[in-house]
């Protein structure tokens, strides 16, 4: 029995189900898709829900980033940097899913609303930008400081462009039928499911699939089992433990993602730098890479993994760390989430390692949506998470700013360190080779604090059904369903 008839059950109105195996052909050209993460912010583009919209091909920005990290035109056909801080973007002819034309005024509204969001999107955490219409099809964008990454920044899903009808007076954004991507949301059932139909007016042409039937499934094995039985065509993040059974339906993808143990530097036992050092000393990341991840990861020596070829093997030495002090049975609350296949097992193994190092450990494992607010508030002593280090701009500076600077919007470690802040600011102001060198300096400054313990640099396994073509295997995780995805 398949979950797709579960919509009434989610509303407490009963349960119906479709039985048997489905294919894209049996669905009339539609695709069944299981995603690992449910919306946590009612599909607002300004947080991680923006990635859901991007991975389902709902949204476009002025630019787009491909799976090689290269920036291409999107709603903007071309752009020019007119001064150190000013850029002009010329729009192509495009329509919103509600039939309105994409105009300069609409783009300005979208960018302005993103900048005024109640919670600042991470991609804007280290820059201030102002947009104005310089003609019906020209948008002028000015940044407070020179920002060589602006075209890459504008490819972030948080800066997607929506119809004027999307915006509520309370600051909300309703993406249902108001975006510009090749698939339009037609129905969202909370954290359970979503229905998308092909938008035939997309500027790049019609998508190959007629629509998407999406279910949000936190259980990793359930996603893999649904794929294996033919109940769906595509599944996110299938477990390494099922790779042998799935065979060529498990597609291996290199990533810019690092599994990291964030340590609470502000309150609790790990506010003591010596105890943070003891955690670092007690972790055997190599053992986790070979056992829990079954070879689909490599031990992390730093924050930036092999996805950054310019950083691989060039890490700077970390100096000035505190000396480890004896834990003497101090109890740590270690939390992680179920949505990524290996994290619960990795957390359990880490708990055993930390107990051997002399800590007591209380383990908390829940769905990510039930943990995020507490993690950001510093409710846990340690938080194990899988984190893309290039998600916001394709460049690690935004990640360093959001996760480790004093004003960072995703600062789970609660870190406040003047040297880290200065190093991140310095990296943000540089270009080219000097920027890369400054990023490595900032990475070393973060590691010096022991606010984090890098565990492994990951590979992903994405589930792709037999006969399915065109799934986008993106190391940057912004794309998944594309124009050519079909069964």
Q: Could you read off the pLDDT of 349-358 as tens digits, one per residue? A: 999 999 999 9
Residue 247: inside a domain, yes or no?
no
Check residues 255 and 485 and name the one with the higher pLDDT: 485
Residues 363 and 447 occupy one common structural domain: yes
Angle at 110 between CA 70 and CA 55, to 5 degrees: 45
Query: pLDDT at residue 20 above 70?
Result: no
Residues 217 and 318 occupy one common structural domain: no
Instruction: DSSP letter for 382, please.
Output: E
Question: DSSP E strands: which ranges in 36-85?
Answer: 63-65, 71-73, 76-81
Q: Backbone phi, then psi, for 277, in 5-degree steps?
A: -65, -35
> Within 13 Å of residue 375, how many CA atoms lie on the same side as its CB?
25
Provide the pLDDT confidence category of residue 365 given band limits of 50, 70 and 90: very high
Contacts of 205 (CB under 8 A, 6+ apart): 483
In the predicted model, what is the mean pLDDT of residues 436-459? 96
Distances (CA, A) of 10 to 6, 33, 64, 232, 295: 6, 18, 35, 20, 38
Average pLDDT, the chain: 92
Express each pLDDT in 121-149 by its tens digit: 988 987 899 999 999 999 999 999 889 88
Check residues 142 and 13 and name the one with the higher pLDDT: 142
> How far apart are alpha carbons 221 and 229 in whole angstroms?
12
User: Which two structure tokens, joined as six digits, stand for 219?
Assistant: 């259980």
Structural domain ending residue among the three candidates 197, 218, 233: 233
Look at the block and give the residue holding tokens 């859901």. 52
Provide the pLDDT confidence category of residue 67 given band limits of 50, 70 and 90: confident
* Range with lowest mean pLDDT among 82-86, 217-221, 407-411, 417-421: 407-411
CA 198 from chain center: how many Å?
A: 24
Check residues 460 and 482 and name the one with the higher pLDDT: 482
Residues 298 and 224 occupy one common structural domain: no
Query: pLDDT at residue 3 above 70?
Result: no
Query: pLDDT at residue 463 above 80?
Result: yes
Express each pLDDT in 181-210 by its tens digit: 999 999 999 999 999 999 999 999 999 999
In the prediction, which pLDDT does 25 show? 56
Residue 465: inside a domain, yes or no?
no
Q: What is the largest CA-CA distance in the chain?
A: 67
Residue 480: inside a domain, yes or no?
no
Residue 357: inside a domain, yes or no?
yes
In the prediction, which pLDDT does 23 show? 55
Query: pLDDT at residue 179 above 90?
Result: yes
Residues 283 and 191 occupy one common structural domain: no
Residue 487: inside a domain, yes or no?
no
Assign residue 336 the CATH number of its domain.
3.10.105.10
Assign residue 228 the CATH number of its domain.
3.40.190.10
Residues 369 and 338 occupy one common structural domain: yes
Residue 481: inside a domain, yes or no?
no
Check residues 26 and 89 and name the one with the higher pLDDT: 89
What range does the domain containing 441 cover?
256-459
Query: pLDDT at residue 383 above 80?
Result: yes
Query: pLDDT at residue 262 above 70?
Result: yes
Structural domain ending residue among the three candidates 233, 267, 289: 233
> How far apart are alpha carbons 378 and 414 in whole angstroms?
7
Residue 243: inside a domain, yes or no?
no
Residues 195 and 327 occupy one common structural domain: no
| Residue of 416, 407, 373, 375 lying closest to 266 (CA atoms) | 416
Residue 239: inside a domain, yes or no?
no
Residues 293 and 212 occupy one common structural domain: no
In the prediction, which pLDDT does 390 show? 86
Residues 131 and 275 occupy one common structural domain: no
Residues 9 and 43 occupy one common structural domain: yes
Look at the chain and report how many structural domains it folds into: 2
In the prediction, which pLDDT does 255 show? 86
Residues 71 and 164 occupy one common structural domain: yes
In the prediction, which pLDDT does 24 show? 59
Residues 192 and 291 occupy one common structural domain: no
Structural domain ending residue among the three candidates 173, 199, 233: 233
Residues 161 and 281 occupy one common structural domain: no
């Amino acid at each position: 029995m398949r979950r797709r008839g579960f919509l009434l059950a989610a509303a407490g109105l009963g349960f119906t189900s479709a039985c048997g195996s489905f294919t894209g052909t049996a669905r009339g050209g539609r695709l069944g898709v299981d995603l690992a993460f449910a919306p946590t912010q009612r599909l607002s583009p300004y947080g991680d829900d923006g990635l859901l919209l991007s991975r389902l091909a709902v949204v476009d920005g002025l630019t787009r980033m491909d799976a090689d990290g290269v920036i291409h035109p999107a709603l903007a056909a071309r752009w020019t940097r007119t001064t150190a801080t000013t850029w002009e973007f010329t729009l192509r002819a495009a329509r919103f899913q509600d039939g309105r034309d994409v105009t300069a005024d609409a783009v300005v509204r979208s960018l302005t609303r993103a900048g005024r969001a109640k919670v600042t999107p991470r991609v804007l955490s280290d820059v201030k930008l102002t947009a104005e219409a310089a003609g019906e099809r020209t948008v002028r964008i000015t940044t407070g400081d020179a920002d060589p990454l602006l075209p890459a920044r504008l490819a972030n899903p948080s800066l997607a462009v929506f119809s004027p009808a999307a915006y509520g007076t309370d600051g909300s954004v309703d993406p249902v039928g108001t975006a510009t991507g090749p698939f339009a949301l037609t129905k969202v059932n909370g954290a359970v499911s979503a229905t998308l139909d092909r938008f035939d007016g997309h500027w790049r042409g019609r998508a190959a699939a007629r629509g998407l039937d999406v279910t949000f499934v936190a259980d990793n094995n359930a996603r893999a089992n649904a794929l294996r039985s033919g109940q769906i065509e595509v599944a996110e993040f299938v477990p390494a433990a099922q790779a042998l059974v799935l065979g060529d339906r498990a597609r291996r993808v290199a990533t810019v993602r690092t599994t990291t143990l964030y340590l609470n530097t502000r309150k609790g036992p790990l506010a003591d730098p010596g105890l943070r050092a003891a955690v670092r000393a007690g972790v055997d990341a190599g053992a986790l890479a070979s056992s829990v991840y079954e070879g689909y990861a490599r031990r992390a020596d730093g924050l930036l993994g092999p996805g950054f070829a310019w950083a691989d093997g060039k890490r700077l030495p970390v100096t000035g760390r505190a000396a480890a002090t004896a834990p003497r049975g101090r109890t740590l609350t270690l939390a992680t989430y179920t949505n990524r296949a290996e994290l619960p097992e990795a957390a359990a193994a880490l708990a055993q390692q930390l107990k051997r190092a002399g800590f007591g450990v209380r383990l908390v494992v829940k769905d990510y949506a039930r943990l995020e607010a507490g993690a950001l508030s510093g409710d846990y002593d340690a938080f194990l998470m899988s984190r893309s280090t290039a998600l916001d701009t394709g460049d690690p500076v935004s990640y360093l700013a959001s996760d480790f600077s004093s004003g960072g919007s995703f600062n789970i470690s609660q870190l406040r360190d003047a040297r880290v802040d200065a190093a991140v600011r310095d990296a943000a102001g540089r270009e080219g080779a000097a920027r890369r060198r400054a990023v490595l300096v900032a990475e070393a400054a973060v590691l010096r604090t022991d606010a984090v313990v890098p565990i492994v640099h990951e590979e992903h396994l994405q589930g792709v059904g037999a006969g399915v073509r065109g799934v986008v295997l993106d190391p940057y995780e912004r794309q998944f369903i594309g124009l050519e995805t079909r069964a």
